[in-house]
Amino acid sequence: MTATTDGSTGATLPPRAAAASDTTLITPEAAGVQEAAARAARRATDFLLATQDTEGWWKGDLETNVTMDAEDLLLRQFLGILDEHTAQAAATFIRGEQRPDGTWATFHGGPGELSATVEAYVALRLAGDAPDAPHMAKASAWIRERGGIAAARVFTRIWLALFGWWKWEDLPELPPELIYFPTWFPLNIYNFGCWARQTIVPLTIVSAKRPVRPAPFALDELHTDPANPNPPQPLAPVASWDGLFQRLDKVVRGYRKVAVRRLRRAAMNSAARWIIERQENDGCWGGIQPPAVYSVIALHLLGYDLEHPVLREGLASLDRFAVWREDGARMIEACQSPVWDTCLATIALVDAGLPVDHPQLVRAADWMLGEEIVRPGDWAVRRPQLPPGGWAFEFHNDNYPDIDDTAEVALALRRVRHHDPERVDHAIARAVRWNLGMQSRNGGWGAFDVDNTSPFPNRLPFCDFGEVIDPPSADVTAHVVEMLAAEGLAHDPRTRRGIDWLLAEQEPDGSWFGRWGVNYIYGTGSVVPALTAAGLPGSHPAIRRAVVWLESVQNDDGGWGEDLRSYKHVKEWSGRGASTASQTAWALMALLAAGEKDSKAVERGVQWLAGTQREDGSWDEPYFTGTGFPWDFSINYHLYRQVFPLTALGRYLHGDPFERKLLARPRKTSPQAEGD
């Protein structure tokens, strides 16, 4: 039986708990914490205001791992455009990320990872590092001990196959005819998450063409047995899903030998049209780096020269992913996050007490309003009758607005006193309507698509690079529920279904799994504020369980942290790790929403934030607290360390934004009635 919002089944939401009384006695010790929090919030506000772009947006660096940098060099080598300056700048960054044991990790403090180490090693060879140099010899020895290139992921071996360092016939087949699979057919391209879809379509062309460019050097030192560099891969049992799909791959390989040439050529041309139709105005694809890289390669293989407008703009967009550092190092961002950063910064500043009509907030609102997406994208394949209205994550990504950004932008816009309130109302109404239309059958929300839950894509031998589907998650669903509550829709049946889904998803220990942030702290920090915003009292059993869990995982220093190894379902890592500013803030946001402002846990958490703040009002956070694919692809959002601590401090000082009526403005139009 599914739990409902008051812990019973089918009952009406109870009235929201009253705010704490202003007559509450404040002890001298608490007064000291209040003063420290106020000072930290002022400094953090000044720091954040100073980092806003003149156009109104915020954007922090988005740091991932060195595979982005290595693959950028491999792409340029493949296209024949790798220059010495770029190679040396990338090599400086890659060398700086090498661990003492010679390896490269995929997140700060993480273990060495084989594929990342292989790719980093090859990139440094391209930059001129000698294989017998101490740092290179240490890396190659570690690679051989872990099985060599043969044990690396498929995507790494694809990059090596481009130069003859691996055999194409020893890679899983990916036929371009996939583009013709209808949407009802298993493994059609819309069964994949949008990030995987954008990558797989161009790779079908690469897989069909099997190009090989002359390798500038051999990689014998990365094989366990150079005489047998491509050992056969072991087969899983026939009765298993993995075994079934491995044998299916053998059938597809056989098809390659008998494929009708005209059909294959037509499929590649259809895939090329699909790719070109999805190129953004600035030349990128979906605002993320990997699809752009593979799209450029695929189109080049079909005869598009590097001066063709599509490729010229595509390559120019890749240059915009580069972050040049003071030491001359060049880091490649996998993506850029201005919409996400701007809405979170706006929420933080208002919750910290900045006047709602402050000119910089109005400028941020103007910029966000200008970024609204008002045309259909790939999401319309599943929802053809749903009118558009939402926001993406990036500067340019009209094909893939996401549900999470749309919810948070609406929450941010509702906090600002804009000079054109009717424009804001209409934009938010479209956002609400679109988000409600993107609800999955089970009541939750995914990030980009509806009911993107097929179990088959993750089973393909080709898809070993991380999560390739987009199922509903607790954090995205929570943000949508919070937004709907802000719009007066807490009692709407669709909101209630989302709340019921969240309650059913709570872990036995009281936490929630965080899909797009690390991890149980992020999930819990997202869900509890959403549930209380929607009317659940702090005494609700689910919220009490969450409070108990958060208190149980607080670090001795007063902060909270969680290592990415919690995604490996290793229980001792759940809610455990070095304290970070962003994760401490998430825990505090949940505890404050649950009515725990006067608790010792909150006091210690606020003291930790105030005590670790730098003089300039910022926080340092080398740890990765964001997620692309759980465990497989981790992100350090450099603005997380600023916006979330400020939000938590603001709510500690000024109370919940719902209680302060920041989000209680009457709606002029309903999401059902809004038609423009």
Q: What is the DSSP track for 269-285?
A: HHHHHHHHHTB-TTS-B
- Domains along the chain with CATH numbers: 63-332 (1.50.10.20), 364-459+472-637 (1.50.10.20)
d(CA 71, CA 66): 8
Asked whether the predicted pLDDT for residue 20 surpasses 50, the reply is no
Cα separation, 174 vs 168, in Å, equals 11
3-state secondary structure of 615: coil
Q: For 224-258, what is each residue's pLDDT tens digit? A: 988 887 777 776 676 666 665 565 666 666 777 77
Q: At what angle do helices 421-437 and 474-486 cross, to 10 degrees?
A: 140
Task: Compare 2 and 540 and report the one with higher pLDDT.
Answer: 540
Q: What is the dihedral of CA 133, 135, 141, 142, to 10 degrees?
A: -170
- Listed in sequence order, the residues at least 6 apart from 70 whose beta carbon sits closer than 8 Å to its beta carbon are 90, 94, 119, 120, 122, 123
Q: What's the alpha-carbon Rg for the chain, to the nearest Å?
A: 25
pLDDT at 18 over 50: no
Taking only the tens place, the pLDDT of each residue in 193-229 is: 999 999 999 999 999 999 999 999 999 999 998 888 7
Q: How far apart are CA 72 and CA 314, in angstroms?
A: 13
pTM surpassing 0.75? yes
Average pLDDT over residues 148-169: 95
Asked if pLDDT for residue 14 goes beyond 50, the answer is no
- Least confident range from 21-35, 406-420, 526-540, 578-592: namely 21-35
Phi, psi of 411 (to 5 degrees): -65, -35
Decide if pLDDT at 9 tops 80.
no
- CA 404 to chain centroid, in Å, comes to 10
462 or 274, which is more confident: 274
Q: Of 354-358, 432-436, 480-484, 669-673, which range is least confident?
A: 669-673
Quote the CA–CA distance of 663 and 418 in Å, as a whole number.
14
What does the angle CA 665 – CA 666 – CA 672 come to, to the nearest 5 degrees? 125
| Segment 483-508 mean pLDDT | 97
pLDDT band at 152 (very low <50, low <70, confident <90, very high): very high
* Residue 398, token pair as written in the block: 């009209």
pLDDT reported for residue 302: 97
Question: What pLDDT does residue 24 have?
Answer: 39
With a cut of 70, say whether residue 408 has pLDDT above it.
Answer: yes
Q: Which helix (H) or strand (E) holds 63?
A: strand 62-63
Tokens of 423: 């424009």
Please state the rounded mean pLDDT for residues 588-617.
97
b/e per residue 318-343 (b: at least 16 CB within 10 A): beebbbeeeeebbbbbbbbbbbbbbb
Q: Is the pLDDT of residue 359 over 70?
A: yes
Alpha-carbon dihedral 94, 95, 96, 102, rounded to 10 degrees: 110
Positive or negative, the CA dihedral 244, 246, 247, 249 is positive
Q: How far is the C-alpha of 580 from the C-alpha of 279, rounded, in Å?
A: 37
Kindly tell me if the per-residue pLDDT of 3 is higher than 90: no
Across 124-153, average pLDDT: 97
Amino acid 659: pLDDT: 77
333 within 8 A of 61, measured Cβ to Cβ = yes
Say how many C-beta atoms besides its own lie within 10 A of residue 95's C-beta.
17
- Measured CA to CA, the distance from residue 298 to residue 300 in angstroms comes to 5
pLDDT at 631: 85
Give the whole-number percent of the chain exceeding pLDDT 90.
80
Closest C-alpha among 341, 319, 281, 317 to residue 61:
341
Model confidence over 30-80: pLDDT tens digits?
668 999 999 999 999 999 999 999 999 999 999 999 999 999 999 999 999
Q: How many CB atoms lie within 10 A of CB 673?
A: 10
pLDDT at 445 over 90: yes
* 247 or 617, higher pLDDT: 617
62-63/330-332 β-pairing: unpaired
Q: At what angle do helices 581-593 and 600-612 cross, to 10 degrees?
A: 150
Q: What confidence score (pLDDT) does residue 525 get?
A: 98
Residues classed as catalytic = 404
Q: Which residues pair with 470 in a beta bridge?
A: 452
Least confident of 3-7, 81-85, 539-543: 3-7
Distance CA 636, CA 289 (A): 16
The closest alpha carbon to 584, from 543, 621, 614, 548, belongs to: 621
Tokens of 95: 């060398």
End-to-end alpha carbon distance in the chain: 40
Q: Is 627 helix (H, G, I), strand (E, B) or coil?
A: strand
**Arithmetic mean of pLDDT over the chain:** 90
Could you tell me which residues are beta bridge partners of residue 629? 633
* Position 6 pLDDT exceeds 80: no
Q: Could you identify the residue written with the tokens 């802000």?
A: 486
**pLDDT, position 8:** 36
